[in-house]
Chain A
Amino acid sequence: MATFFDPFDGLLQFQQALDSFRTSGWLGAGPSAGGGYPPINIFRKGDDVVAIAEVPGISKADLELQVLGKTVRIAGRKAVEYGDKASLHRRERLAGRFDRAFTIPFEIDADQVKAECRDGMLALYLRRAERDKPKSIAVA
């Protein structure tokens, strides 16, 4: 028997996926969430989470990182300098202050966070807090 392709099925699934993503703990508004800069990619490495942000032209001194509960805040300033007597031919780089927070679905162990900033990439190694770790249950 032929099965019909229900166009509303696809729409409903998409709507459900979007709703579950919204309530899943990703993209929560943090204490000072604002703006989209810098762009962040979040990866999973084993049981930990690695967040990598592109921060070209920003040195360690211009960055401020804070962790609380499930939220990470990245703030700082991106400076673009030209020098006094420069005549500008082309300008594509942007500069300014940024302040962004993102939440992940588990609690972060704030003492064990490792952050590396090199070659314009900021990598944050986030560990799950001990008290948030699930306990495996052996089936008898």
Chain B
Amino acid sequence: MAASQALEVQEKKELASKDEKTVPARYYVPPTDIFETEDSLTVVMELPGVEKQAIDVNVENDVLRIDARIDFTKYEGLEPLYTEYNVGHFARSFTLSNKVDQQQISAQLNDGVLTLTLKKAKEALPRRIAVG
């Protein structure tokens, strides 16, 4: 069990990717928790300020890619006086193993936290073998 850490501000890490984006805005790497339960793999990401329709989750070539955009129009007319954090889009990608059934991924967004549940492929489920 991981040792508990004090709650503090995590400075946003900027995404350094080899492909450039066509949208002129900064991309940040969202803090993610990945944990595994008996029948699925869960990926939990913090995407503050992102709305449901602005999230793009897709799986291609065994890579799970998450792209989340911030709506900058909300900041129109606001003049910054004092800032402590950066505002930008989020992107992160993970390579999935064949243990994951790529057809069965469900996603939920609550309070800026995206929870992706990836069901494990049937072959990867633990099987109990009865001893005769």
Contacts and interface: CB of A to CB of B under 8 A. Distances in A.
A49 B44 CA distance: 33
Nearest to A49: B81
B93 to A, nearest CB: 14
B48 A121 contact: yes
Nearest to B82: A42
A11 interface: no
A37 B9 contact: yes
Tell me the dominant secondary structure on chain A's binding face. Answer: loop
B46 A39 contact: no
A104 B80 CA distance: 13
Interface stretch (B17-25, B32-40, B59-67, B100-108): B32-40
Interface string A16-52: 0000000000110000000111111111111001100
Interface in A88-137: 88-98, 117, 119-121
B89 to A, nearest CB: 14
A45 B81 CA distance: 10
Residue in B31, B33, B51, B87 with the greatest tally of chain A CB atoms within 10 Å: B33
Contacts of A36: 8-9, 84
Contact of A54 (B38, B48, B77): B48
Given A88-B2, A92-B33, A41 B111 contact: no
A94 B8 contact: yes
Contact of B111 (A50, A56, A83): A56
A80 interface: yes
A58 B111 contact: yes
A44 B78 contact: yes
B73 interface: no
A102 to B, nearest CB: 8
A101 B10 CA distance: 18
A55 interface: yes
Contacts of B46: 56-57, 93, 120
A92 B77 contact: no
B32 A93 contact: yes
B130 interface: no
A50 B83 CA distance: 12
A41 B48 contact: no
9 contacts: A43-B81, A56-B48, A57-B112, A82-B33, A86-B35, A90-B34, A92-B31, A95-B7, A119-B112
A-B pairs, 5 with minimum CB distance: A120-B112, A96-B7, A120-B48, A43-B78, A92-B31
